Amino acid sequence: MPTFTSNDAQINYQTFGDASKPAIVFSNSLGTNFSMWQPQIEFFSQDHFVICYDTRGHGASSAPQGPYTLDQLGQDVVNLLDHLNIEKAAFCGISMGGLTGQWLAIHHANRFSHVVVCNTAAKIGQEQAWSDRAALVREQGLAPIASTAAGRWFTEAFVQSNQAMIAKLSNDLGAGSPEGYASCCEALAKADVREQLKDITVPVLIVAGQQDPVTTVADGEFMQQRITASQLFEINASHISNIEQPEAFNQALQEFVQA
């Protein structure tokens, strides 16, 4: 699988579809890897050049010593586009990837035609809670986090009826890099773009899960009220909405990027 060097990290990525078609980049959530986008890869690679990558510290990307910053997470995406000689792309990120998307829309608007930020917020959670989680993972590894992830990610009904998929996602999390995960927690502890949302000029679609306990519909409304060219789409899902409701997610994303 191809990798490229972005500053101090080796970033694992994969492309799908025809490179002459419009490019769309997908960015994973904390504790996952790019395979979380399988329902979108299958759907969008017909009409798009789909680019997926593992955020630094995740999947098959390297996990250099942290802490990381939101600036680094965003710059990795710009460097990936440069590596692939792509001037402009659409971007879709979920949770941590959604914060990356906001940073890109603020700092590199010229590189993106559309930005989709899903199940995210302009500031996710509290700094101390992220710092505590980073310390826990460095001390005890990822097993304690992996054992409780499903309840944060999905509704109870989805967990009960999709146990094989839940097991794979939990196993992927548990097998990840504790240092990479903790370093991304430290990036999320400091990440706060609330004051910069007003500077965004790229068209933005905000996807908010109606049953998401982590990043709420209210978080989505906060962003929508401050980003001029934005729209809010509520989806009947918890935190990993692209997996829980792939059809509704894909349709909303397709309508937005084609508008």
Q: Average pLDDT of each block of 10 consecutive residues along the chain (259 residues)?
A: 94 98 98 98 97 98 97 98 98 98 98 98 98 97 95 96 96 97 98 98 98 97 97 98 98 96
* CATH number of the domain where residue 219 is located: 3.40.50.1820
- Residue 259 has a pLDDT of 86
* Exposure letters 74-99 (e unless 16+ CB within 10 A, then b): bbbbbbbbeebebeebbbbbbbbbbb
- Residue 1 has a pLDDT of 78
Measured between alpha carbons, how far is 239 from 130 in angstroms, rounded to an integer? 17
Residues 6+ apart with CB under 8 A from 130: 185, 186, 188, 189
Domain count for the chain, please give it.
Answer: 1
- Residue 21 has a pLDDT of 98
> Helix 96-107 to helix 70-83 angle, to the nearest 10 degrees?
70
Element (H, E) at 23: strand 23-27
Residue 38 domain boundaries: 3-258
Tell me what percent of the residues of the chain surpass a pLDDT of 90: 99
- Residue 34 has a pLDDT of 98
- Predicted TM-score (pTM) of the model is 0.98
> Helix 96-107 to helix 178-190 angle, to the nearest 10 degrees?
50
Amino acid letter, 17 = G
- Residue 20 has a pLDDT of 97
pLDDT digits (tens, 9 = 90+) for 139-175: 999 999 999 999 999 999 999 999 999 999 999 999 9
Measured between alpha carbons, how far is 96 from 103 in angstroms, rounded to an integer? 11
